[in-house]
Amino acid sequence: MSADIQVMEVMTIMGIKVSPLERIDSDVLTTLRELMNASLKHAFITDHMLERCTTGDPNFRRKDILVAYENDELVGVLIGGIRRSAPPDMVSEHRSVGWVKAVAVRPGPHRAEILGSLLREFEGLMKEEDKNRLRACDFASWHFFPGIEVHHDFYIEELMRHGFSKVSECVDYEVDLLRFYIPQRIKRLEERLMKEGLSFKRASRGDEGRVAEWVKRKFSSFWAYEAKLSFSFKKPKIWVVEKDGRILGFSVYGALEPNWFGPIGVDPEARARGIGSVLLFKCLQDMRLEGTRIAVIPWTSHLFFYTQVPAISAVKHYWIMEKKL
């Protein structure tokens, strides 16, 4: 008897059943949100986030969501994804990758078995589709979190037991805007840059095409998508810095999630002059003025660029994990 058959029998005995989600509507999403928040201690998943990462993702397929039932009670979910259509220029590069965007299993005696059966089922689906790698959870622009939060010990251990290993890492900074202020140093920096002929301005709607094209050319189509989203607000949530009509940098907030800062980017030729710091403070100040209490600076490895922000109240550390199939 093979190990797989033994496992399946164990599953049947325990009354665990894993299957693709049968339908998706707002009631189902509410149920999934509650399950995820009850099962992922360090995650705070809102309706907006869940929708963005499922039906709001142009790559979405219902069959990439697997649910686990134990004795007819919903106990686990795995939200997967593949790059099918967006951004179009990344589809070919990502054709052999499948993503576990999030996996959540209620605490209980059979938690490890349930997680294992969700992973095995998803892995089977991905193999059928000729994927040769699984990633957790860095599905840019339609991600919940960039990786597995290091204090989610259970998930890290189980993913490792199922053949995943850490391939990269990053952090989220959380900033409590109650204690936020703009240091004099930043104000002086801005004055100096303005004297040098640079202008910092919140972009207006007419700038969208030009700015998005620049962001795509200098950085990536993910960031261009996020920059475009920032123009969908009446008052675009994006700052641009220019000199002599040439864009030198940009920074965005509130695009993917209302309280997320970023992306931010400065032309490589203009870096290390303080431009990025001024852009960063412009956005955080706007977030404060919009009434945001906790701003999140997600998915970064620029540790020292962001520690200059006063009022960092938490750091979340993530492992980005991968399994070769």
- Residues lying near ligand COA in the complex (CB under 6 A): 262-266, 271-277, 300, 302, 304-305, 308
In sequence order, the 6+-apart residues with CB closer than 8 A to the CB of 224 are 87, 212, 213, 215, 216
Rg (CA), the chain: 22
Shortest reach from residue 20's CB to ligand COA, in Å = 35
Nearer to ligand COA, 175 or 275 (CB): 275
Shortest reach from residue 275's CB to ligand COA, in Å = 4
Nearer to ligand COA, 27 or 304 (CB): 304
Nearer to ligand COA, 16 or 215 (CB): 215
Shortest reach from residue 138's CB to ligand COA, in Å = 13
Shortest reach from residue 255's CB to ligand COA, in Å = 13
Phi, psi (5° rounding) for residue 95?
-65, -25
Q: How far apart are CA 119 and CA 156, in angstroms?
A: 13
Residue 182 falls in which region: left (phi positive, over 0), alpha (psi -120 to 50) or beta? beta
Nearer to ligand COA, 116 or 274 (CB): 274
Nearer to ligand COA, 13 or 304 (CB): 304
Note the helical H segments in the chain.
3-14, 26-39, 47-53, 111-128, 153-161, 184-195, 208-218, 221-230, 275-289, 303-306
Shortest reach from residue 308's CB to ligand COA, in Å = 5
Closest CB to ligand COA belongs to which residue? 276
Nearer to ligand COA, 151 or 302 (CB): 302
Q: How far apart are CA 220 and CA 89, in angstroms?
A: 10
Q: How far apart are CA 39 and CA 17, in angstroms?
A: 18
Nearer to ligand COA, 210 or 271 (CB): 271
Shortest reach from residue 52's CB to ligand COA, in Å = 19
Shortest reach from residue 271's CB to ligand COA, in Å = 3
> What is residue 176's three-state secondary structure?
strand
Nearer to ligand COA, 79 or 140 (CB): 140
CA distance to 57, 81, 127, 171, per residue, from 121 (Å): 22, 14, 10, 30
Shortest reach from residue 19's CB to ligand COA, in Å = 38
Yes or no: say if 83 and 133 are a contact pair by the CB < 8 Å rule: no
Yes or no: say if 131 and 325 are a contact pair by the CB < 8 Å rule: yes
